[in-house]
A and B are shown apart, each in its own frame.
Chain A
């Protein structure tokens, strides 16, 4: 996928005329005379009878230009009105629609039968109030005001537009009509309509430059999305027919032929998909087949489209490792019958220190595995991700270090954080990768029913990569499948505790997913072998700590 920014916004090329137009100056409204001049030149080259025909069926000026595939920096020029085409069709238009011939920018009262007013910057807002923006710039101003009101700090933006499927239906009808009527004429042979620009792209072209100026950053692939969704009452049936003919093929928008602006890269959005599906199916239809769907002349449009304007940042991720020093803190928020279990949760302590500083809507906590509420997480910590939705600002590296310090300096010292930083989506795969294979290391405080002997230390240390079979522990049997799980205990080491003959520290390293408590006390014989069965006595576990999660992600660099 080529980054089309360099083609579009920097140097505009008008396809029919080989003379390049000049770059638009920073004051948006003031276009180079050359721009407008180039436009006139191009327009001169259009077949006048065809243009007149299109005007007469209710197609607006911008739609005519885009149907003929005219590219370039022209869509944001406000001076696009029917009068521009006058030179082509060689006569003055006498309709009451034009208030005064001397004005450059005029309002077209009648909604375009093709784009339903979208390229005339006319729509209904979310309060159902009809809005008519005089120019692309005015519309861009409305958008930029929304962005600023929400407090977004951005260094780029991605502009996405979705239009009702009936527009594609209409376009197909128009093209078919033009083909039937002018198909034999010489200008048609060059295939001007095969270069048509979609209504979506035309709108994007008109809004991109003014928005770049107003928001002071470039448009393109970005984590900040400005989404314009147009819908119309009349949009209905064609979609289902088209889909059934093609058998519901799913098409990635990356292949969308007309999309010169790659801001939608990789994003499969509902209506974009519908458009692509409808487009493809129309291409496949033969002339005679499609005549049942062919509606010409186009229906008159009485209502403008409803526009929903949405600004949103894609989720940002904070990665790091957490430590849990308390035996009364759960990993995630745990509430039973309106009562919280434990005094706090790792999720809330970390999330509540990150989300507000990003001014996000909310957050999600993900960790590589978990430990019980009464088990401490020590050593290098456990990898985690905090996903913040719709952040208004992304904290700098220094700010992120400050967040880490704040969490580690909390008075109650329940939780600690290491190596906190903003990570991309790869943080996710890093965490999930090999989660099931990674080994974990523990320290357990064990009591046995007889005094510990030296020979016991050896019998335990000598066991390497020992296989055990664990029936689903009784304490989780109510919510997990009753299964026998084979697990590996990689190594074990007993550390004597001074002053006690029956208590000792058991250090062990096991396969991910091993239930340690059950391995010590045997779970009524349902885990075998167990410490008790190996030492030939009863064994109980009093405390458990995780001392190492052997994973490569979010380590100190």
Chain B
């Protein structure tokens, strides 16, 4: 089956090694990019895969939250950088998911069909974030099924201070397509939000 080279005295092992080396060389050539093509700072995973929306003053002044929506419809909810909680000098010191009627961190969602996921309205409470001075309620912003909350915040509330827009996200919600369309109109895009908050 193999195409043998004209010189039949080359033994099979040598041929394999040679072929393997050639493979490696040509592989190397395609793997390494041309540095000139690379941007100084590439777009982040969030920028590439999500569309960012903002809900300024959500139910209360200064309660600015973000909604990152993935192409698959899932929404990541979190505190925007201009949220009033960050104005407290102590920063955020604790996060408590036990609000409303249940502890949001206790829900176990299972299976492809997301059994046991609780349905929430856009103004349902997700958690409470505490600073030294005050306590702020964080809400869903989007009506849908709650798939998960970021329970790492319980042990590491500091994540909100260092990276509220990434590792400090609050929760992931799955809205029905119709519900998303209804709420979309009331949210701001990135540019509008920046203009509003002059940041």
Contact = CB atoms under 8 A, between A and B. Distances in A.
B143 to A, nearest CB: 17
A557 interface: yes
Contacts of A380: 23
Contact of B42 (A421, A443, A474, A542): A542
Interface residues of A, number: 43
Contacts of A479: 72, 112
B33 A474 contact: no
Nearest to B72: A478
Interface stretch (B57-65, B165-173, B189-197): B165-173
B181 interface: no
Interface in A451-485: 471, 474-482
Interface stretch (A71-79, A107-115, A238-246, A498-506): A498-506
A9 interface: no
Interface string B166-190: 1101001010000000000000000
Contact of B38 (A379, A443, A477, A500): A500
Listed from nearest, the 9 A-B pairs whose CB atoms lie closest are A525-B167, A499-B35, A478-B72, A521-B45, A443-B31, A447-B42, A500-B35, A482-B109, A524-B169
A497 B35 contact: yes
A525 B49 contact: no
B31 A505 contact: yes
A378 B30 contact: yes
Q: How large is the interface on B (under 10, 10 to 19, 20 to 34, 35 or more residues)?
A: 35 or more
A376 B30 CA distance: 10
A279 interface: no
17 contacts: A445-B33, A447-B42, A477-B147, A478-B72, A480-B112, A497-B32, A497-B35, A500-B38, A503-B33, A503-B38, A523-B45, A524-B46, A524-B76, A524-B150, A524-B167, A540-B43, A545-B30
B65 to A, nearest CB: 16
A220 interface: no
A497 B38 CA distance: 11
A411 B22 CA distance: 22
B6 interface: no
Interface string B29-52: 011110100100111111001000
B110 interface: yes
Contacts of B150: 524-525
Interface string A394-423: 000100010000000000000000010100
B100 interface: no
Contact of B74 (A376, A419, A474): A474
A393 B43 CA distance: 52
A556 interface: yes
A478 B174 contact: yes
Interface in B61-90: 70, 72-74, 76
A540 B1 CA distance: 44
Contacts of B45: 517, 521, 523, 540-541
Interface in A517-548: 517, 521-525, 538, 540-543, 545, 547
A247 B111 CA distance: 36
A545 B35 contact: no
Given A478-B174, A481-B111, A482-B114, A503 B44 contact: no
Given A379-B27, A474-B172, A482-B148, A543 B35 contact: no
Nearest to A480: B112
B95 to A, nearest CB: 14
A471 B42 CA distance: 25
Given A497-B35, A498-B35, A557-B1, A482 B42 contact: no
A419 B166 CA distance: 46
Given A379-B23, A524-B167, 6 more contacts: A379-B27, A471-B148, A474-B70, A475-B70, A478-B74, A521-B45
Given A477-B147, A498-B35, A397 B1 contact: yes
A477 B33 contact: no
Contacts of B74: 474, 477-478
B137 interface: no
Contact of B31 (A522, A545, A557): A545
A522 B70 contact: no
